[in-house]
Structure 1
Amino acid sequence: MFLIRLKSVCRWLVMTEFEIFLNFIAILIFTILLVIKLDMNNESLTWFKVFLPLFIVDLLQANFCSILFIRQLMANQKKHGILRLVVSSLLLLSRFMFKLSTFQIVNSSNGEAFKFQLAIIPVYFHLVILMFKTCGLKKHQILQSFKCKNDSNKRIIYTKRSNSIISSVNNLYGVNWGIWGSIEECDQNDYVVGFRTKRQPNLGTGLGVGKDDTELNGVELICSNGKRLKSSEGQWGSWDTDFRNCSSGQKVNGFSYGIEKKQEIYDDSATNVIRLKCTDNSTIQSLEGPWSTSIIPLECLYGTIVGIRTQIDENIYAEDNTGLNNIEFVCKLN
């Protein structure tokens, strides 16, 4: 088993698998030419020809980044595309400057020590960018904690109707990224009877457009009078075609959630499963992801669910978005 997956390497370097392959081929050709130049004293092989594969791969990468940026703009992922373009360009520029400086040093007949020190500056700049990218934290809502009354993984606050809230926000897995939407509630004397979810299908390994897994991206409830409730939603995936409802006359009085624990340098998908519990103790399910660390049930202690609020991870990270992170259900007290 590999300690680090290819997808994680791609995310860290801000490259696709194809770009990594191109760099590998360029370095291989460069190494072969370097051996011929040094060991065989081939004077017809200039230093420019030795370094040419490295310069060509930078040109190809610059072209590839431009194409990917245009694709992201066409896919209405402007912020995502700009962020990736800036980071990729800075990393690419630092690598190119290191190669160019090294070429100028070895190609010069009177190289001095300070020139070698100057050549290392782009390497330092490159490592600093990677360090900030590796240690970067996803945004989370610190203000949520001021209204918490912790009881294991329950979170209780009060809404405008003096109803309690059950929530996944105090989960044990370190998942708390994104922006909370507004609280949406059924009309007075109505209650939730069903729901559906929005899910992105598994995309496999790799990074970039069309490769990052986010799993659940939204939850929509339906009230007893037919009113639909949706707080916020991610942009990936599609909704279940039908609502999943409790049996006739039954109400929703609890839910279970499945979250993939924080993956650190690996791909995060956050919430994978949301299931609702009906007052007859049956469970209704909609679209689900496969990566839940565990399934945790929560229940309205003295009432039924009448509202919802969701936390969605914004599309601001170039390689790893998570869609739906946490969810809160409003319980109407009996």
Structure 2
Amino acid sequence: MYFLQLIVSVLVISPVVDCFLPRKSVVDSLGPTYRSKWGTWGRVQYCAEGTYAAGYEMKIEPSQGRGDDTALNAIALVCVSLKGKHFGGTITSTAGPYGDWTGVFMCPNNVFLKEFALQVEESQGGGDDTAANYIKFICGPLHSVKSSYELAHTRGHWLWGEMTGWSRTCPTNSAICGIRTRVEDCQHGADDTTLNDVKFYCCNDDSWN
């Protein structure tokens, strides 16, 4: 428990660790979910070798009233090794500029992110589009496909759109270890959507615990 508290304190000091080096242990990918028409895919970021995503945080813009809403702007994954002995950084891929970080939610000790569900608002035609609004995960043991724990920020949803079904789960002996996001650049006064979709990568056990 102390180590997870240490991770949260590290996030406050340095929320993102660049980690673009590919991992040889990638065995599968989850998503994309929405396949929107807005934005471009950023670079994949991976947890450090031997670590896996065990928690997450969202960057969300609150309702702007009659202004332009963007909702979910970024997703950060918190990476740790088996038994929590090593901190593997936080990773985000591309992030939108609006909103605030909501705080970190962690899986129980020694279980990791294995699958996800994304809340997405469909195109509003001539209305205000927000695209992705919220994300939640299932935590499970690295060495099993059995999913054991739903990990979601307290509210459980955001303001617009519907929750998609759960993705596939990472295969046995693997967990989520990488992220790639699709984000629309600033539209300079036109309708911004920022984060539109996300893809996650599963790595098998290459731990150095």
Tell me the TM-score normalized by structure 1: 0.47
1:237 maps to 2:68: no
Q: Residues 1-334 of structure 1: matches in 2 within 5 Å?
A: 161=24, 162-169=26-33, 171=34, 175-205=36-66, 211-224=67-80, 225-226=86-87, 227-240=89-102, 242-279=103-140, 280-286=147-153, 288-302=157-171, 303-333=174-204
Aligned length: 167
1:258-307 alpha-carbon deviations (Å, 9 max, x no partner): 11011111110000111011015211123752212233211334131011
**Counterpart code for 1:193:** A
**Counterpart code for 2:203:** K
Contact 2:170–2:176 under 8 Å retained in 1: no
Give 1:177 shift: 1.1
Look up the SS of the partner of 1:256 in the other structure. Answer: strand
Aligned-residue sequence identity (percent) comes to: 26
Q: Note the residue ranges of structure 1 that are not aligned, 5 or more in a row.
A: 1-158, 206-210
1:160-211 alpha-carbon deviations (Å, 9 max, x no partner): 5243211134x3xx62311221111112221110000000001122xxxxx1
Contact 2:28–2:170 under 8 Å retained in 1: no
For residues 47 and 129 of structure 2, the distance between their equivalents in structure 1, rounded to whole angstroms, comes to 32
Tell me the TM-score normalized by structure 2: 0.73
For residues 31 and 188 of structure 2, the distance between their equivalents in structure 1, rounded to whole angstroms, comes to 25
More relative contact order, 1 or 2 (CA 8 Å, 6+ apart) = 2
Instruction: Give 1 or 2 for the bigger CA radius of gyration.
Output: 1
* More strand as a share of residues: 2
- The equivalent residue for 1:19 is none
- The equivalent residue for 2:8 is none
